[in-house]
Structure 1
Amino acid sequence: MPTSHPSGWAHADGALRGPSWLRPPDDANRLVPHLWSTTADKDGTGDLSVGGVRLPDLVANVNTPAFVLDEADFRARARAFRDAFAPAQVFYAGKAFLCTTVVRWLVEEGLSLDVCSDGELTVALRGGMDPARIGYHGNNKSHPALRRAVHAGVGRIIVDSFAEIDRLAEIAREVPAEESGRGIGVMVRVTAGVEAHTHEYIATAHEDQKFGFSISSGDALEAVRRIHGTPGLELLGLHSHIGSQIFDTSGFEVAARRVLALHAQVADEVGVSMPELDLGGGFGIAYTTQDDPADPAQLAAEMSKIVEHECRALGVAEPALSIEPGRAIVGPAMCTVYTVGTVKEVELDGGARRTYVSVDGGMSDNIRTALYDSDYSCTLAGRRSEAAPVLSRVVGMHCEAGDVVVRDEFLPGDVRPGDLLAVPGTGAYCRSMASNYNHVLRPPVIAVRDGDARVIVRRETVDDLLATDVGAMDE
């Protein structure tokens, strides 16, 4: 969290020195490879390329801000999870970023898909995902949404409340098993009481939050009993998700131990051996040089070992494992490119100065810095500079003091209006959480590969902005 000071963050001790992990670079033009997609590169003139496409050339055609998605990188990360965790089923977490083109890539790479709204389900089906390979999440799924999912043939519904179980029971009476070919596949989301080391808003397995059934209170066991005793519902197993942006498997180990203990208890007391176990996702990525994420092979080896060890200790057969990476696949595969509008040096008490670099986007296309205190990196993307690096703050165009894109970064001291800046690691929860705050139009997503660029989500237009404004239609 930012250091507190009665006169505000700008006066806090150490505020102008930046975080302890951020060091002045020897060369402010150089990319830090593990922060970027695998095809990102800079040429001798300082122009940044992704997927063989020079960003200055791309910007000349599509303008800024724009999200640039490295197709080859996305596919490679998807395959890495698929292969490392095989035969476990890998469900891409669509909430990170979803469009029909991405769904088609997932289908081609053999992944399944996790959705958490009727809109995401619509995109999944339109993109050609087999509904049997879709999991449906959410803590407040309505009766119409559940009915549509069931009729579409969604393979698993992860229930989050007793009310949802009742709704599914009613729907099961409307759709007999002989008509659908099977009962409605149901998993029970449980809270394992694990405090993941992450921001409180993205830690999701401790007791005091909205998701799941508590293991310690007995609600989780009761939910299993109700599902098992309800005609038309097929109990698949337990689901646990401990949070997001997690860098080690210690939290998964504690969660797996508690969830598998419940799994064994169900076999003993309810008399049913559940065939599946989902340990969720939340695997971290490198946003800055302080982050050191594990690769899929390491995660798979450690998590499989945890499940094997706990099942052996409990004397139960290992259930089929599934996981739900989203950020870890799409996050590093995308960057955002902006145009600098203004550069301002602000003198603070004591003579210190802070450099503010304002770009033509902000919290409308990346709310994570304001919402989660997230850290990002960035680089000059359209030229090479020989100027000494200066600690800078990249801010957006919105009427909010908290509209910060990159809190601290060393940029060349001659950054000026018209320069291009690119921010890596923006694939997850940036375009998907984008808004029209200040009536700003949401940016496009451009997929790049082997020197070709194509729009897969177009930029919004003023007509889009006014389409739901009934008063504007009367003009």
Structure 2
Amino acid sequence: MKTATSTYEKPSIQQLKSGLMNKFAGVTSAYNQIKSSIAGVPVDDLVAQFGSPLFVYSERSLRRKFRTMRHAFTTRYPDVTFGWSYKTNYLKAICAILHQEGAIAELVSKMEYDKAKALGIPGKQIILNGPHKPFDLLEAAVRDGVTINIDHLDEIEDLEAIATLLGQTISVGIRLNLDAGIQPCWSRFGFNLESGQAMEAIHRIARGGKLKINGLHSHIGTYIMEPSAYSRQVEKMVKFGYNIEALYGWQMEYIDIGGGFPSRSRLKGTYHAADVLLPSIEEYADAICDSLWKHLRSGHTPKLIIESGRAVVDEAGSLITSVCGTKRLPDSTRAYVMDAGVNLLFTSFWYRFDIALDRHVPGTAEPSVVYGPMCMNIDVIAESISLPPLSRGDRMVISTVGAYNNTQWLQFIEYRPNVVLVTETGEVELIRAAEDLSDLERREHLPARLASNAFNALPQLSSVGWK
């Protein structure tokens, strides 16, 4: 932290740059943003007990956000199920809270399947998506009664083999990709609707006689800022479902629209505040549910499944990080090196976070750049941010980081830090302990020939010529 003694710094001359306001905006300011506590707990206390960097989650914020979203949809449609997207954040405590709130598990891999089963989630409360479902995973899922959404033709063949093995017809869903009027159009996952590929897959399934379709799945993208896109998605899915029913008599028991709702993290290149930029969850619910009521037949109300992740958890997560070095760049820009970087905030490549200081720091603010501790030039948390003169030990609180950062964080150069949860009663619980060397090396095997006196076995360098 800052001492009473001021350190002399050689003056620098920096070119003033001015011009008209444009859509790329200018310098983000953290100068007047102070966040001295998280969920009511002082940052000083959190760092004193758990160190820096430190991820902090607010249980109250997480539950409140989920309940707000659930209320928006259940007041507009009679049969709604939320699938918690494990890939967004699969910390056990986070998953357990959302399961307590009534969310089932939405999974895209065997690893996530194992995590859900270890938490005691029954098969009937699991949705299995994703492009890679090994045969043994599919067989276990079928035996367990999991909702399976087919992604490609090879999965059809695998499921037919499993149906033969078990001597039963298997009910499955099929994943669609479709044009909802937004760009980019996600076409990698599932079967394309407009080209006829999806209907060809339906015909293939019908010819096999081992499977039957009872649901549709589609995920049109991420950070979707146009509620009308979901309206078009629902319309196309419902019409396709009725086409299947007319051909083969398979009635749609569920329509799974995936997720993709945005959080308050702003995409890079945007300049409006989140309150101005983002539609409300009620606007999304209106668009989706109104489209369902418009296009569904009277008396037919299939289950609506929503697999939202980012919009649920992002705002519940914060990261405390401390200054560990200060410097001037060649162009005189002030730079700060923090103890957290892209190793912990992988989504910083796409999003602009809310950054605040944990206390008032006196002095004149100036445009600065904030780096992480990695030995990589791309390890940048904030490229242009207005900051007062900070010193080693000063802290920043980076907010809206609960989505994808704890699943995509890197085991590179630095240990991953503690993660804590602030409960609804204000207590602080450790939900993931900081790593140490044993976490990195426990899966490694060092051959005996390399383990014994490894250093002493090296050829000794001659000192000849070094006089």
Interval of TM-score (by shorter of Structure 1 and Structure 2) = 0.7 to 0.9
Alignment size in residue pairs? 422
Is 1:160 the equivalent of 2:151? yes
Task: Report the counterpart of residue 435 of structure 2 in structure 1.
Answer: 460
Per-residue Cα deviation, 1:178-205 (whole angstroms, up to 9, x for no partner): xxxxx544211111034645xxxxx5x4
Q: Distance in 1 between matches of 2:83 and 2:202?
A: 23
**Is the CA contact (8 Å cut-off) linking 1:240 and 1:280 kept in structure 2?**
yes
TM-score between both structures, scaled by the size of structure 2: 0.83
Structure 2: 5+ residue stretches without partners: 1-14, 267-271, 452-467
* Percent identical: 26
Q: Distance in 1 between matches of 2:398 and 2:335?
A: 16
Aligned ranges for residues 200-239 of structure 1 at < 5 Å?
A: 203=184, 205-207=185-187, 210-228=188-206, 230=208, 233-239=211-217
Per-residue Cα deviation, 1:195-225 (whole angstroms, up to 9, x for no partner): 645xxxxx5x444xx2110112222112233
Please provide the CA RMSD for this pair: 2.6
Aligned ranges for residues 114-129 of structure 1 at < 5 Å?
A: 114-129=106-121
Shift of 1:306: 1.9
Shift of 1:276: 1.3
Is 1:293 the equivalent of 2:268? no
State the secondary structure of the residue aligned to 1:447. strand
Is 1:254 the equivalent of 2:235? no
Q: Quick one: which of 422, 432, 437 aligns to 2:397?
A: 422
Q: Quick one: which of 354, 362, 369 aligns to 2:341?
A: 362
Task: Report the counterpart of residue 6 of structure 2 in structure 1.
Answer: none
Task: Report the counterpart of residue 136 of structure 1 in structure 2.
Answer: 128
Distance 1:417 1:111, change over 3 A: same
Letter of the 1:146 partner, please give it: L
Is 1:404 the equivalent of 2:383? no
**Is the CA contact (8 Å cut-off) linking 2:342 and 2:381 kept in structure 1?**
yes
Shift of 1:358: 1.4
**Is the CA contact (8 Å cut-off) linking 2:109 and 2:132 kept in structure 1?**
no
Distance 1:14 1:342, change over 3 A: farther
Is 1:387 the equivalent of 2:363? yes
Letter of the 1:256 partner, please give it: V
Distance 1:302 1:472, change over 3 A: farther
Q: Quick one: which of 288, 292, 298 aligns to 1:307?
A: 292
**Is the CA contact (8 Å cut-off) linking 2:27 and 2:384 kept in structure 1?**
no
Aligned ranges for residues 417-456 of structure 1 at < 5 Å?
A: 417-438=392-413, 440-449=414-423, 450-456=425-431
Letter of the 1:402 partner, please give it: I
Structure 1: 5+ residue stretches without partners: 1-10, 32-41, 43-47, 178-182, 198-202
Per-residue Cα deviation, 1:432-468 (whole angstroms, up to 9, x for no partner): 0011123x21223211123211111221111111112
Q: Distance in 2 between matches of 1:221 and 1:248?
A: 27
Task: Report the counterpart of residue 67 of structure 1 in structure 2.
Answer: 55
Shift of 1:293: 2.8
Pair member with larger Rg: 2
Distance 1:138 1:14, change over 3 A: farther
State the secondary structure of the residue aligned to 1:216. coil
**Is the CA contact (8 Å cut-off) linking 1:336 and 1:422 kept in structure 2?**
yes
Task: Report the counterpart of residue 192 of structure 1 in structure 2.
Answer: 178
Q: Distance in 2 between matches of 1:363 and 1:191?
A: 31
Q: Distance in 1 between matches of 2:112 and 2:396?
A: 31
Task: Report the counterpart of residue 460 of structure 2 in structure 1.
Answer: none
Shift of 1:237: 1.4
Task: Report the counterpart of residue 85 of structure 1 in structure 2.
Answer: 73
State the secondary structure of the residue aligned to 1:437. coil
Shift of 1:311: 3.2
TM-score between both structures, scaled by the size of structure 1: 0.82
